[in-house]
Structure 1
Amino acid sequence: MRIAIVGGGISGLVAAYRLRTRLGADADIVVLDRAERLGGILYTGDVGGEPLDLGAEAFVGRRPEVPALLGELGLTDQLVTPAGRRPLVWAGGAAHPLPPRTLMGIPSDAETMRGLVDDDTLDRIAAEPDRALTWYPDGDQDVYSLVADRFGAQVAERSVDPLLGGVYAGSSRSIGVRAALPGLAAALDAGAPSLTHAVAAALPPPSDAPVFGGIRDGYRVLLDALADAAAARFVTATPATRLARASRGWVLDPLGLVDAVVLATPAPVTARLLRYVAPKAADAAAGIELSSSVVVALSLPQDTALPDNSGILVATGESLRAKAFTLSSRKWPHLAERETALVRASFGKFGDEAALSWSDADLIAAATEDLATVTGAVIDPVEAIVQRWPGGLAQYAVGHVDRIAEIESATAELDGIELAGAYLHGVGVPACVASGETAARRIAESLSAPAKS
């Protein structure tokens, strides 16, 4: 029995691990990846000789997938939580506290926005419940159109955009309501009379539990543990070039004949491989656009006068080049113990990816200068590392939910083909883990089912 997994990111590695536990030691599991290393957009580099994540650095704590996986792999002691500090938002040339009680930056009342937006906008938010709302339960729209219409452009640009930029490397203009805010869409579908009422209905109940979790020594330890436990054959620096039906199973070049395939690949790669076996799914996947970004990690003298906050998000329309700063040593207690202060600067959003072509020196200079602007501190890096992420994140645009439904419907009848990855049902690590687990379960069930006559 030979199973190929195309894509060695977290989705593919979880699929390989789950297939090994389901199918046993005799299964020939091959993981094929076009990159020279495993991990996809998860990557732990070394700063000052110690590990630091240069891709995703956290996961949503209320989802169980990552803590469960760490426990299963004997890595529970690696689980860490943030210090509980709040981020700031840089808007109008000044730093403001990130508003509380919002849904991805969409306010539940006017008071939460005080100081971040002007008085006219505050009045508009307060009056919103009295305005008639038009929402079509079978439709979708971009987040900006909804929020700017109901609360004003300042709310979209100063409160919503900074948060969406961190999650999707996009903006409220490039992200659809249904895909990014399903709870909000559900409340609107159910007949919420205003956006204010819908936000209140969609907000999770108050909790003291940490919103995020992390891994002490970086995602590297999870990726390595998954690879070891999967006991697969890993073929790196080798792209999959063709997928075709065989009389029994599939032909995946350059591997040849396989019994089943998991495509744990970015949407454009998935589209290319499905072109001749599921053309409708390929067309739908090809319509999913990607955003690129850059992370610049700065190691600073420990006495650098950074604010006592977890980070600084940047509103749309500011003169800064960076879109956000993670004050890693303030955010994570285990990083505060190191000899230098660590900061991650992020660049690039969908539609504005010029930073990807800048030289390392220019990126480091921009990160240093922008950080000095937003903190008022003297920024003199001891060390700086640049990590580029071309095409790193799928854009969950208007109609994304329908597009994914079309892809999954068009591939449902392909026996022995399953999909996984960040473009399907969430860009976060827990969602990717869940997609890999689901793909593995379905493949194992299809391989053990009686052959169709």
Structure 2
Amino acid sequence: MRETDTGTGTARDRKVLVIGGGIAGLAAAHRVLDGSEGDDRVEVTVLEASPRLGGKLLAGEIAGARVDLGAESMLARRPEAVGLAREVGLADRLQPPSTATASLWSRSTLHPMPKGHVMGVPGTADALAGVLSDEGLLRIEQEADLPPTEIGDDVAVGEYVAARLGREVVDRLVEPLLGGVYAGDAYRISMRSAVPQLFEEARRHPSLTAAVRAIQARTAGNQQPGPVFMGIEGGIGTLPAAVADAVRAKGGTILTGERASTLRARGGGDQRLSRGTRPAGGRFAQRPAEPEPVWRVVTEQGRTFTADQVVIALPAPAAASLLRTASPMASQELRGVDYASMALITMAFRTSEAHLPEGSGFLVPPVDGHTIKAATFASHKWGWIGADNPDLRIVRTSVGRYGDEKDLARDDADLVDVARRDLGAATGQTAAPVAAHVTRWQDGLPQYPVGHTARVARIREHLAQLPGLTVCGAAYDGVGIPACIASAYAAADELRGDSGTREELKANPVQSLHGGAGE
């Protein structure tokens, strides 16, 4: 730590340790360094346990074609992800999808993806004509005549929608859409956490369809120009490396292969270091001023790092393990966060043998019993893939979601065969791929069940008692790339005493009505 003589004493740089080198951790490091000006000079070190950076953002190749083997797009209607890409020099590589026309493979037929809905919940029966049965459409038309359904502090999306509009709406549209974002179970996912706009409007209106129409009217009145989603030429997976380069250019240090194993405050290290003692009335009685704790982190590799402030940007299980001494209560809450596993099967076909329909791909309702949950025609969706590889057609399919992970026990060759069979049944594609690659994301996506928002609030309440310690990432504020970055920005700003970003995030959650990391 550098000491500087100020003439009236000594001043030292603020030392910040970021634990986790996924996009949230890298964004937090970048934000901290951006905010260091004048007297607030800062040293930043990022520790990443694995040999690479980026987490679920992973660029790769198949048959010589550059592709994403993880998340492939980011919401462009929020500023965080697109803004960060521009800040780190990727502005000229940002590209919207070449086509946004998707389909739904339902009852053995590819249907155009319905419009006029909010995450699968329609404002009128006409919005789902052609996808639902006559009985299902009639149920939607009758919804306005039902008595109001109590929501309370939270409710599962699937349960609430099924009660109002029938299970067919959930099984045929809500489930595949939410599954694409969370790899989750719509009958378990929290409406308050996953679709907060719908949750708030549903509390204000006696009819769910009226709530959807209110959202649609407000959206139409505030329509933003430009594409809904954005990609990056070369793949979204190139973003982490660009952010890491920017962090290093600003003086930050990034270390891979360093897994943090213990976190303690020097001279103490547990929740007794709180800023005050909470009496029965609930307010903190201030103790005499004490020096801020200096945190001490030891890695499994035997290295010790000290810092004035720590950002934990890890999946919930790893964060729980690291916080077991510093904040046992936060650790316990984090252990309650479930995760879903999934696999991406990426295949390359010769263009002359590829018989794919137009559009960006299709979603698959689990109720039909197929193995794949979605397919993306990457060469159609991203113009740069098609332009760089005119002799190939790249297709991505996904397998696995929460509560339905049995197929992940198959070996890679079997997963490729199953994906080929389902793809062929949906599109008529019969030729064998010239190359295939399976990427497994074990415990890749956190689940947001009923009560998740309250759980996150409790975690942050526990950590607020520990000066200079904060968390960010997909387990808290949303699973999409902009949500992870927004979570990181709020954490970084809190370290320098600015709670405005956190309050803005609470008022305007990033969780999208359009999709997230699984899009």
TM-score by length of 2: 0.82
Q: 2:400 aligns with which of 337, 343, 348?
A: 348
Pairwise CA distance, 1:429: 0.3
Partner of 1:272: 321
Relative to structure 1, is the Cα distance of residues 207 and 374 closer, same or farther in structure 2, using a 3 angstrom cutoff? farther
1:387 aligns with 2:439: yes
1:226 aligns with 2:276: no
Partner of 2:507: none
1:79 aligns with 2:98: no
TM-score by length of 1: 0.94
1:325 aligns with 2:368: no
Q: 1:310 aligns with which of 345, 360, 364?
A: 360
Relative to structure 1, is the Cα distance of residues 200 and 18 closer, same or farther in structure 2, using a 3 angstrom cutoff? same
Matches within 5 A, 1:239-254: 239-247=259-267, 248-254=293-299
1:335 aligns with 2:385: yes
Q: 1:22 aligns with which of 20, 30, 35?
A: 35
Partner of 1:134: 149
Q: 1:164 aligns with which of 178, 196, 220?
A: 178
* Alignment-mate amino acid for residue 276 of structure 1: T
Q: Distance in 2 between matches of 1:239 and 1:308?
A: 45
| SS of residue matched to 1:424 | helix
1:32 aligns with 2:32: no
Q: 1:13 aligns with which of 22, 26, 48?
A: 26
Bigger Cα displacement from structure 2, 356-365 vs 121-130: 356-365
Q: Distance in 2 between matches of 1:262 and 1:215?
A: 27
Pairwise CA distance, 1:71: 1.9
Q: Indicate the RMSD between aligned Cα atoms, in angstroms.
A: 1.8
Relative to structure 1, is the Cα distance of residues 317 and 41 closer, same or farther in structure 2, using a 3 angstrom cutoff? same
Matches within 5 A, 1:82-231: 82-136=97-151, 138-190=152-204, 192-203=205-216, 204-205=219-220, 209-231=226-248
Of the two, which has the highest radius of gyration? 2
| SS of residue matched to 1:323 | strand
Partner of 1:70: 85
* Alignment-mate amino acid for residue 244 of structure 2: A
Pairwise CA distance, 1:29: 2.1
* Alignment-mate amino acid for residue 215 of structure 2: A
Q: Distance in 1 between matches of 2:464 and 2:457?
A: 10
* Identity value in percent: 38
Partner of 1:451: none
1:426 aligns with 2:478: yes
| SS of residue matched to 1:344 | strand
Contact 1:23 1:444 in 2 (8 A): no
Partner of 2:15: 2
* Alignment-mate amino acid for residue 165 of structure 2: F
* Alignment-mate amino acid for residue 169 of structure 1: A
Q: Distance in 1 between matches of 2:453 and 2:157?
A: 14
Pairwise CA distance, 1:445: 4.1
Bigger Cα displacement from structure 2, 324-333 vs 288-297: 324-333
Q: Distance in 2 between matches of 1:92 and 1:368?
A: 18
Q: Distance in 1 between matches of 2:448 and 2:34?
A: 32
Pairwise CA distance, 1:27: 4.0
Relative to structure 1, is the Cα distance of residues 195 and 11 closer, same or farther in structure 2, using a 3 angstrom cutoff? same
Q: Which string of whole-angstrom CA distances, capped at 9 and with x for unpartnered residues, describes residues 369-390 of structure 1?
A: 1111110122320111111100
Pairwise CA distance, 1:189: 2.2
Pairwise CA distance, 1:327: 0.9
Pairwise CA distance, 1:67: 1.9
Q: 2:65 aligns with which of 40, 50, 71?
A: 50
Bigger Cα displacement from structure 2, 205-214 vs 81-90: 205-214
Contact 1:176 1:396 in 2 (8 A): yes
| SS of residue matched to 1:84 | coil
Q: Which string of whole-angstrom CA distances, capped at 9 and with x for unpartnered residues, describes residues 168-225 of structure 1?
A: 01121231110111011111222x0111011112233256632211111112332112
Q: 1:236 aligns with which of 234, 251, 256?
A: 256
1:439 aligns with 2:491: yes
Q: Which string of whole-angstrom CA distances, capped at 9 and with x for unpartnered residues, describes residues 268-307 of structure 1?
A: 1112222222222222221110011100111111131101
- Alignment length (residue pairs): 444
| SS of residue matched to 2:264 | strand
Pairwise CA distance, 1:354: 2.1
Pairwise CA distance, 1:432: 0.7
Pairwise CA distance, 1:59: 0.8
Q: Which string of whole-angstrom CA distances, capped at 9 and with x for unpartnered residues, describes residues 65-84 of structure 1?
A: 12211222221111110123
Pairwise CA distance, 1:397: 0.8
Pairwise CA distance, 1:43: 0.4
Contact 1:90 1:315 in 2 (8 A): yes
Partner of 2:517: none
Pairwise CA distance, 1:152: 1.2
Q: Distance in 2 between matches of 1:250 and 1:186?
A: 40
Q: Distance in 2 between matches of 1:194 and 1:55?
A: 38
Pairwise CA distance, 1:236: 2.1
